[in-house]
Chain A
Amino acid sequence: MKRHLISAADLSREEAVLVLDTAAELAGVSARPIRKLPTLRGRTVVNLFYEDSTRTRTSFEAAAKRLSADVINFSARGSSVAKGESLKDTALTLEAMGADAIVVRHGASGAPHRLAGWVTGSVINAGDGTHEHPTQALLDAFTIRQRLGSPDHGASGRRGAGLDGVRATIVGDVLHSRVARSGVLLLSTLGADVTLVAPPTLIPFGVGGWPCKISYDLDAELPKSDVVMMLRVQQERMTAAYFPTVREYRRRYGLDAGRMSLLPDHAIVMHPGPMNRGVEIAAEVADSPRSTIVEQVSNGVIVRMAVLYLMLGGVEGNS
């Protein structure tokens, strides 16, 4: 495993499959009477969060604790950041406290990349601006492999398998979505065919270079999808009028029960959370048996355990 995990593109297919296989073995730990392993005893993981987060931060925290690492949680609010301390100074302070890994979420795209140049420990990107969120992509890939793993479908849930032939459709606010960018990169690395569906205003510039297809018509793509990944409409990042009204967005790109019936029988519906129920996804879809939203959260812990183990469990500074 590499020293840092900044982008889903950092992972080769072999490394990504190793993370999924490791996670598959770690899944058994959650079912045991003692849900803890001694592997990272004496290591310190810092959660450095400049943006609000529920599931990612708690999931990294739970993952590190299950591996017996010490966890320091740092959120920008109520810290010296409020007094104007820079990212670099904050990072150097945390490193002086002995952080072996820094899990960072930051509103600015590229912040984890800068951070990796300043510290000697590992840096794990937990979401930077509209850039990337690689562990979310890994847990999505893990969930897909688990759910579509039966022999009837293209992907095999067995060890060593990728996602070859899986047709994944990512729908919604691609422009602001770090989940979409990491998802496209990782799923295509693993062999899936990825299609992005969004209003033209929410497709980022330069998307032609991404390893995926683009469509503007959700109804045409649904019958050809094994996986539909709905993205949150990120109103907090929207500085312009990207679509006329929420109602119009919902009518054209929202997933309701009627649209869900267009999917093949085995297809699954994913959402990285937090959901805007009634906007990009209807409540009855989110709560249906096809939805993997709750599984994605529990898989998040074991996939992050796998990432922490592979990055910190071996020789210090291995490549």
Chain B
Amino acid sequence: MCATKPEPRHEQRGDQEVPGPGWKAVLAPEEIRRALSRIAHEILERTHGGEGTVLLGIPTRGVPLAQRLAARIGEFEGTPAPHGSLDVTMHRDDLRLRPARALQRTEIPPDGIDGKTVVLVDDVLYSGRTIRAALEALGDLGRPRGVQLAVLVDRGHRELPIRADYVGKNLPTAQREVVRVLLEETDGTDRVLLGERVRPGPDSPGSPGSRLGDGARPDGGDR
């Protein structure tokens, strides 16, 4: 959770690879669907009907997840929740560890975020650094009444005092393992996979030297 997910052309993530036999499916399409429905219900419960709630997805895969949650909320309550995207690249703390990255879309619903309850949506929660960057980016956009966090997978290994309010699945992992979220919108299929890094990867997400040049990042698309 601590790196951006760069655009596909950056080719650092290996999303395009067909998951091989070493990958274990931890969430099937219908499990992802149920998890999102449950999170949508929880959001409605916690925000008392979703009034004044804005869902902001963190690119890349947080954005379609936020869209789906907003649509679910619309089905349940009749009025879809406003949703958008929040690019956190310019606020990352690891910018200087890698070549400059392409920026992703930031789209804030027309009513803005002032006085709203913002639910940040991302695919995997790992070190917590992306969320820290997202909180800073939000501060430049306005002053929400509150900020909550929804993730599809929480894989542990936090490096900052951050926790999720809504979790699709708690997935205990070892740091050498990689969690890969595939979504219909970005990858053509819904699936969450768990695998092991093929090459001897960085021992810990906090060791900057080992991150460079290593395609499999502890915190990027493969997490």
Which residues of A come within 8 Å of B, CB atoms? 1, 18, 21-22, 25-26, 28, 32-34, 36-39, 309-316, 318
Evaluate contact between A311 and B141: CB separation under 8 angstroms. Answer: no
Evaluate contact between B87 and A25: CB separation under 8 angstroms. Answer: yes
Choose one: B91, B100, B141, B142; the contact of A314 (CB below 8 Å). Answer: B100
Evaluate contact between A310 and B90: CB separation under 8 angstroms. Answer: no
Chain A residues near B96 (CB, 8 Å)? 313-316
| Shortest distance between the CB of A24 and any CB in chain B (Å) | 9
- Mark interface residues in B100-122 (1 if CB within 8 Å of A CB, else 0): 11111110000000000000000
Chain A residues near B90 (CB, 8 Å)? 37-39, 309, 313
Per the bound structure, the CA–CA distance linking A315 and B209 in Å amounts to 11
Chain B residues near A313 (CB, 8 Å)? 90, 95-96, 100
Per the bound structure, the CA–CA distance linking A270 and B101 in Å amounts to 31
Choose one: B95, B97, B103; the contact of A26 (CB below 8 Å). Answer: B103
Please name the residue on chain B nearest to A22 by beta carbon: B103
Per the bound structure, the CA–CA distance linking A315 and B97 in Å amounts to 5
Per the bound structure, the CA–CA distance linking A158 and B119 in Å amounts to 28
| Shortest distance between the CB of B217 and any CB in chain A (Å) | 14
Evaluate contact between A314 and B98: CB separation under 8 angstroms. Answer: yes
| Shortest distance between the CB of B101 and any CB in chain A (Å) | 7
Evaluate contact between B140 and A311: CB separation under 8 angstroms. Answer: no
Please name the residue on chain A nearest to B95 by beta carbon: A313
Evaluate contact between A37 and B140: CB separation under 8 angstroms. Answer: yes
Interface: B136 (CB within 8 A) = yes
New A-B pairs, 20, CB < 8 Å, besides A1-B99, A39-B91, A315-B99: A1-B100, A22-B102, A25-B106, A26-B103, A28-B106, A32-B140, A34-B139, A34-B140, A36-B140, A38-B90, A38-B91, A39-B95, A309-B90, A309-B100, A310-B100, A313-B90, A313-B100, A314-B98, A314-B101, A318-B99
Interface of B is mostly: loop
What are 10 A-B interface contacts by the 8 Å CB criterion? Answer: A1-B100, A21-B103, A25-B103, A25-B104, A28-B106, A32-B140, A34-B141, A37-B91, A314-B96, A315-B97
Evaluate contact between B102 and A21: CB separation under 8 angstroms. Answer: yes
Evaluate contact between A33 and B141: CB separation under 8 angstroms. Answer: yes
Interface: B212 (CB within 8 A) = yes
Choose one: B98, B104, B106, B141; the contact of A315 (CB below 8 Å). Answer: B98
Choose one: A25, A38, A311; the contact of B100 (CB below 8 Å). Answer: A311
Evaluate contact between B100 and A318: CB separation under 8 angstroms. Answer: yes
- Mark interface residues in B189-223 (1 if CB within 8 Å of A CB, else 0): 00000000000000000000000100000000000
| Shortest distance between the CB of A145 and any CB in chain B (Å) | 16
Choose one: A26, A38, A312, A318; the contact of B136 (CB below 8 Å). Answer: A38
| Shortest distance between the CB of A45 and any CB in chain B (Å) | 15
Chain A residues near B212 (CB, 8 Å)? 315
Per the bound structure, the CA–CA distance linking A11 and B199 in Å amounts to 34
Per the bound structure, the CA–CA distance linking A310 and B100 in Å amounts to 5
Per the bound structure, the CA–CA distance linking A311 and B100 in Å amounts to 7
| Shortest distance between the CB of B97 and any CB in chain A (Å) | 6
What 9 A-B pairs have minimum CB-CB distances, sorted nearest first?
A314-B100, A25-B103, A313-B100, A314-B99, A318-B99, A34-B140, A37-B90, A39-B90, A310-B100
Please name the residue on chain A nearest to B142 by beta carbon: A33
| Shortest distance between the CB of A142 and any CB in chain B (Å) | 14
Chain A residues near B106 (CB, 8 Å)? 25, 28
Per the bound structure, the CA–CA distance linking A33 and B87 in Å amounts to 17
Please name the residue on chain A nearest to B91 by beta carbon: A38
Per the bound structure, the CA–CA distance linking A285 and B142 in Å amounts to 40
Please name the residue on chain B nearest to A18 by beta carbon: B102
Chain B residues near A316 (CB, 8 Å)? 96
| Shortest distance between the CB of A101 and any CB in chain B (Å) | 13
Per the bound structure, the CA–CA distance linking A39 and B96 in Å amounts to 10
- Mark interface residues in B117-153 (1 if CB within 8 Å of A CB, else 0): 0000000000000000000100111100000000000
Per the bound structure, the CA–CA distance linking A305 and B140 in Å amounts to 17
Please name the residue on chain A nearest to B143 by beta carbon: A33
Chain B residues near A32 (CB, 8 Å)? 140-141
- Mark interface residues in B173-189 (1 if CB within 8 Å of A CB, else 0): 00000000000000000
Per the bound structure, the CA–CA distance linking A318 and B97 in Å amounts to 10
Chain A residues near B105 (CB, 8 Å)? 25
Chain B residues near A25 (CB, 8 Å)? 87, 103-106
